[in-house]
Amino acid sequence: MVVQRVQALAEAGLSYLPSQYIQPPELRPDRHCRAEGAAEAESGSIPVLDLDTSMNPIPHLRRLCSEWGAFHVVNHGVPSRVLEKIKEAGLGFFRSPTEAKLRYACDPGSAATEGYGSRMLSKEEGVLDWRDYFDHHTLPESRRNPSRWPDFPENYRDLVLEYSDSMKVLAQRLLSMISESLNLPHSYIQDAIGEVYQNITISYYSPCPQPELALGLQSHSDMGAITLLIQDDVGGLEVLKDGEWVLAKPLSGAIIVILADQTEILTNGVYRSAVHRAIVNADQARISVATFYDPAKTQKISPALQIVTEQSPLKYSEVLYGDYVSSWYSKGPQGKRNIDALLIQQ
């Protein structure tokens, strides 16, 4: 299967969008986004959580997890140098000659394989995202093989390893706080996830000739436990809130937290995974770095029984995470939440 890279199409100077990238009318981006609430309106974006422990962030975290499922965090402890260097490394890779990048091409016939690609799903049908990416398998360490990652620009592999370690620490801290916010033992969600599988995906969104017809990444909720994302100052991430799309306006030094489906299951729906997407523009390329923190495929995930009560009955069936992943990749997101298939009819 020959897969055309989006960046190559963009650099060819097309004045029109190829048909395989045209979204159906009901899924096309709405250029009018809003901010929610007074505090959020002030920043024109999704809300911000300050992790400064002297301010007791738990009550605010509880509200953001139940009402939004996606928010910026500041005072998170990750040096700004680490955030900027990984974005610079990603840009350096995507700005390199095509033949150099293709040395690290992923298998186009398999879903979500490690490497440089453009098509995340293995199925042929369906509208394509206006995006290229590089996916790194970073945890557990037995899964790491830096020889599969670019050796350019300089220190690329070391930067990915440093970033992986920083994101692991922050994800563990956030999941501990989320557990505590529900009066669960601080290690509850971590223990329920088991051995962590971490992927780091650097996405490159080229300028699009008809951005009103395309999406960089179609609407979906993430499969795993939690996603940590950084973006450049171009912006393009949107979060669905109360039926409307809210722009995640770039915030210098912040990291975006996106709750994923397994956390919603573990919290019995008290906290919701965030539906989100990426829009594109005609003038500027955009880069983002998403770190996915997920269970092993052999792990069974079910709601915490401590949260299940007569007033809040069991909402989700137990699921083997590997089955959940297979279902997602066979069907694709389709602009929906695959987690809804696990709802127990009351």
pLDDT score recorded for residue 111: 64
pLDDT (tens digit per residue) in 158-189 = 999 999 999 999 999 999 999 999 999 999 99
Is it the case that residue 242 has pLDDT exceeding 50?
Answer: yes
CA angle 31, 71, 226 (to 5 degrees): 110
pLDDT score recorded for residue 133: 97
**CA nearest to 294, candidates 258, 330, 336, 344:** 258
Give the count of alpha carbons within 13 A of 234, CB side only.
19
pLDDT score recorded for residue 131: 97
Contact criterion met (CB below 8 Å) for 214 and 22: yes
Is it the case that residue 36 has pLDDT exceeding 70?
Answer: no
Q: How far apart are CA 165 and CA 75, in angstroms?
A: 17
Interval 86-95 mean pLDDT: 98
Q: How confident is the model at residue 71 (pLDDT cuts 50, 70, 90)?
A: very high
**Structure tokens belonging to residue 113:** 């394989």
The share of the chain scoring above pLDDT 90, in percent, equals: 82
pLDDT score recorded for residue 38: 38
Sequence-ordered list of residues with C-beta below 8 angstroms from that of 194, at least 6 positions apart, any chain? 295, 296, 299
Interval 327-346 mean pLDDT: 76
pLDDT score recorded for residue 37: 43
| Average pLDDT, rounded, for the chain | 92
Contact criterion met (CB below 8 Å) for 112 and 257: no
User: Given the structure tokens 């529900």, which residue do they identify?
Assistant: 182
pLDDT (tens digit per residue) in 104-143 = 999 876 666 899 999 876 556 689 999 999 999 999 999 9
**CA nearest to 164, candidates 143, 180, 178, 179:** 143
Higher-confidence position of 34 and 344: 344
**H-helix segments, the chain:** 6-11, 37-43, 58-67, 80-94, 98-101, 156-181, 188-193, 261-266, 321-331
Is it the case that residue 67 has pLDDT exceeding 90?
Answer: yes
Interval 7-22 mean pLDDT: 95
Render 257-278 in DSSP notation, one character per residue.
Answer: EEE-HHHHHHTTTSS-PPPEEE
pLDDT score recorded for residue 341: 86
Q: Specify burial of residue 233 (Cβ count, 10 A radius: 0-12, 13-18, 19+).
A: exposed
Least confidently predicted of 229-243, 264-278, 296-310, 317-331: 317-331
**Structure tokens belonging to residue 270:** 């008290």
pLDDT score recorded for residue 3: 64
Q: How confident is the model at residue 338 (pLDDT cuts 50, 70, 90)?
A: confident
Distances 50 to 44, 183, 225, 266 between C-alpha atoms, Å: 17, 20, 21, 24
Q: How confident is the model at residue 271 (pLDDT cuts 50, 70, 90)?
A: very high
Contact criterion met (CB below 8 Å) for 296 and 333: no
Interval 16-45 mean pLDDT: 71
